[in-house]
Chain A
Amino acid sequence: MSMRNTWVIARRELLERVKSKWFVAITLLGPIFMVALVVVPAIISAKSTSGARMDIVDQTGVLGEPLAKKLHDDYDWIVNVVPKDTPDQTELDKIRDDKINGFLTIPAGAVVFSNVLYRGDNAASQYVGAYLQKAMTEVVFDARADLVKLTREQRAAMLGDVNVVPMHTTGEAEGSSGLGSFLIAYILAFILYMVITLYGVNVMRSVVQEKTSRVMEFLVAVVKPQSLMSGKILGVGGAALIQLTVWLGIGAITLAYRTEILGAFGIDSGQSPLPPLDFFAVTITLVYFILGYFFYSAMYAAVGAMVSSEQDTQQVQMPVTMLLVIGVMCFQLIASSPRGGAASVMTMVPFWSPMLMPMRFVLGGATLGDVALSLGILLVSTILVVRAAAKIYRVGVLLYGKRPSVRELVRWLRY
């Protein structure tokens, strides 16, 4: 009977959320956001700097014109070479009046020792810097080649492209782009963090609302607090799982067809290869989500039961939220050394394994044995946390007013 009530509660919680306009909007807009994450940087890199207006103050007399032509031909920049004695202030005034975006000052010795200064409102863009670097390097090399009187063939032989391609691999699977792997792993970990926090806090808030609206009085007479808590966690978790599955599904499809998608925007995806999100990685992510969600939402439910008003939750939830934030701060640590000692430890600790292990796994830092051990630890801890939370919840939901002290909490746990 109490099992049935748990389901009745869970269904109500699930429907209340799934039927809300916000849920539908976020579930559907989330993937658009994710697609944007892949597409927008590509668009920006391709399009943002085109049409940039620039002046060149060239004191060498040989670099300015070829550089202007190169920037115009390669990147569609509008470049003017101005007289070499133009004062900086004149150029700065032009920037201020939005006549140009910036100007490049090429000192007399630039062919030998190439140190040029670019000042402009778009200087913060990494692409502006990169394009200037590339174009400048070529014209300076041309000038140097002329200086030592190299033939065209000699020059080509000297200055052919040198490419270092970072491919991510741990010796097992096919390698993929280092940046791409990191991006996918990071997005996965971040989504896990977001969904666990979002829905954990949601559980807490809904417990507090039941207390403040006094619905709790009705409920506890019919349902055991334990069933009430598990029903709530299951129902809210169901909504979260639906959302996450939709997101991961669309994310995986987006990645699988990224070339076509990028192509539709007129972008060649060649330079940013992303690894595909395979079925196994998605499954592991979902399993970690489910356990991590139970682990944290049980804690949040206990927090909700301990307080009597929304305002009180701010302080009491702090320790739980801090635990999650510590996990976020370790993202970089896992990414930079997925097989390192710190990564091995952090992905075993149940507070952080739900977010960090999928990341480590996608980066190839964890064997299936690692995953199994980590899941085992998480499972046992989740059972313990849910039990402890249920005890706090049982006493807490009936209390109004004063918040329990730590000593009282310990006593509740012993009941």
Chain B
Amino acid sequence: MSSALSIKGVVKKFGNHVAVDDISFEVPRGVVYGILGPNGAGKSTTLRMINDIIAPDRGEIKILGDMAPGVVAAQKMGYLPEERGLYPKMKVGEIIEFMGELRGLKRAEAKKRGAAWMERLGLTKWMGNKVQDLSKGMQQKVQFATALLHEPEVLILDEPWSGLDPINAEVLREIVGEIRESGRTVLFSTHQMEQAEKIVDALCIIARGKLVASGTLRELKAASSAAGWIALGFAEGGREKADAVLADAALISDRRESEEDDHDIEVTAPDSQRLLTALIGAGVALRKFEVITPSLHQIFVERVGPEAAVAEREEPAA
């Protein structure tokens, strides 16, 4: 089956500033895909091009096979923009109907589905209230509903966690999970790695407009420089015995002292099972023996560089 999204060689400039610089990636169907990057990396610009809000200067974007971004594709897509807003004076029920209609639903159908979503999000009794009477958190739920109402094949969320309280973050995770289960696709952008790691299947990392990495979470973890290392922690007096075992070059290929508090050294071993057997056989008092899995945050810092991860560059105004 064709991919949900295919981005090929896309370039977007604002004046002299290159916001998106020759980016390509594929989002398979039925996955949760993250675009990760520091602020100002070009994430929102990329999402806006996919939504046909702005046109790329070069390159090609294909949606669900061969659709170009535009009005037709928009009926298959849901979008939660980074800057979120609703008509403050409109009633909640009305705005949901309105957005549903714009996404191609019949008014009655939009009304029915809107009611179902409000029920699920616990907002039923607010249907007749004006948006401005709702708390920020409730408004966000309404915004989710407007993006989801028409059951989009591709759901695009731009910085979905920004300004979201933990409870709503949990609701969002649940919804994203359901969409994946139903075989539909979610594409989101964020700079919050902890949140992303909980839901992402595959991802790409963008920094300064350029693609620096892409692949499944598993692939990126395997490719990380932290991957393959084993953390060893010893109980009282275990260190001397261990050093004797580790002197055997057949057991480990590399070693280094740990900078972490919870273990002593890190090693790479051609066969971790053999290493563990040897250590236990030698009577080493082990406190910790763990194959290190790099966190998404580590991968991100590794790929982007620590300075890029904290750099708060302004998103260009467009």
> A-side interface residues toward B, CB under 8 Å?
1-2, 5, 8-9, 12, 16, 210, 213-224, 398-402
In the complex, the answer to whether A218 meets B146 with C-beta atoms within 8 Å is yes
In the complex, the answer to whether B102 meets A16 with C-beta atoms within 8 Å is no
Residue numbers in B under 8 Å from A5 (CB-CB):
71, 102
Most B C-beta atoms less than 10 A away, residue of A210, A215, A399, A402: A215
In the complex, the answer to whether A220 meets B318 with C-beta atoms within 8 Å is no
- A8: contacting residue among B79, B88, B98, B146, CB under 8 A: B98
Residue numbers in B under 8 Å from A9 (CB-CB):
102
Residue numbers in B under 8 Å from A222 (CB-CB):
74, 79, 99, 102-103
A-B contacts besides A217-B84, A221-B81, A401-B317, 4 pairs, CB < 8 Å? A5-B102, A213-B88, A221-B53, A222-B99
- Which chain B residue shows the least CB distance to A224? B71
14 A-B residue pairs with CB within 8 Å: A1-B71, A5-B71, A9-B102, A16-B87, A16-B90, A215-B86, A218-B79, A221-B74, A221-B79, A222-B79, A223-B71, A223-B102, A398-B54, A402-B317
Residue numbers in A under 8 Å from B60 (CB-CB):
none
> B-side interface residues toward A, CB under 8 Å?
51-54, 71-72, 74-75, 77, 79, 81-90, 98-99, 101-104, 143, 146, 317-318
Q: Tell me the complex Cα distance, A8–B97, Å.
A: 10
Q: Tell me the complex Cα distance, A322–B186, Å.
A: 50
Q: Tell me the complex Cα distance, A21–B81, Å.
A: 33
Q: Tell me the complex Cα distance, A214–B104, Å.
A: 22
User: B26 to nearest A CB, angstroms?
Assistant: 22
Residue numbers in A under 8 Å from B51 (CB-CB):
220-221
- Which chain B residue shows the least CB distance to A9? B102
Q: Tell me the complex Cα distance, A50–B274, Å.
A: 120
In the complex, the answer to whether A220 meets B53 with C-beta atoms within 8 Å is yes
In the complex, the answer to whether B98 meets A12 with C-beta atoms within 8 Å is yes
User: B138 to nearest A CB, angstroms?
Assistant: 16
Residue numbers in B under 8 Å from A221 (CB-CB):
51-53, 74, 77, 79, 81
Q: Tell me the complex Cα distance, A253–B86, Å.
A: 43
User: A236 to nearest B CB, angstroms?
Assistant: 14
User: A292 to nearest B CB, angstroms?
Assistant: 28
Residue numbers in A under 8 Å from B102 (CB-CB):
5, 8-9, 219, 222-223
Residue numbers in B under 8 Å from A210 (CB-CB):
87
- B85: contacting residue among A214, A224, A400, CB under 8 A: A214
Most B C-beta atoms less than 10 A away, residue of A220, A222, A399, A402: A222
Q: Tell me the complex Cα distance, A205–B79, Å.
A: 25
Q: Tell me the complex Cα distance, A139–B164, Å.
A: 90
Q: Tell me the complex Cα distance, A402–B102, Å.
A: 30
User: A6 to nearest B CB, angstroms?
Assistant: 10
Residue numbers in B under 8 Å from A401 (CB-CB):
317
In the complex, the answer to whether B85 meets A218 with C-beta atoms within 8 Å is yes
- Which chain A residue shows the least CB distance to B47? A221
In the complex, the answer to whether A399 meets B103 with C-beta atoms within 8 Å is no
In the complex, the answer to whether B103 meets A398 with C-beta atoms within 8 Å is no
Q: Tell me the complex Cα distance, A216–B87, Å.
A: 10
Q: Tell me the complex Cα distance, A20–B88, Å.
A: 14
Most B C-beta atoms less than 10 A away, residue of A12, A210, A217, A401: A217
Assuming the contacts A16-B90, A214-B81, A217-B83, asked whether A399 and B74 have C-beta atoms less than 8 A apart, the reply is no
In the complex, the answer to whether B103 meets A218 with C-beta atoms within 8 Å is no
Residue numbers in A under 8 Å from B318 (CB-CB):
398-399
Q: Tell me the complex Cα distance, A364–B307, Å.
A: 77
Residue numbers in A under 8 Å from B54 (CB-CB):
398
- B72: contacting residue among A1, A217, A399, A402, CB under 8 A: A1
Assuming the contacts A16-B90, A399-B318, asked whether A214 and B84 have C-beta atoms less than 8 A apart, the reply is yes
Q: Tell me the complex Cα distance, A400–B146, Å.
A: 24
Assuming the contacts A16-B90, A218-B99, A222-B102, asked whether A2 and B85 have C-beta atoms less than 8 A apart, the reply is no
Residue numbers in B under 8 Å from A214 (CB-CB):
81, 83-85
Q: Tell me the complex Cα distance, A217–B47, Å.
A: 12
- A2: contacting residue among B71, B77, B88, B99, CB under 8 A: B71
Q: Tell me the complex Cα distance, A400–B98, Å.
A: 25
Assuming the contacts A1-B72, A1-B104, A213-B87, asked whether A218 and B81 have C-beta atoms less than 8 A apart, the reply is yes
- Which chain A residue shows the least CB distance to B104? A1
User: B50 to nearest A CB, angstroms?
Assistant: 9
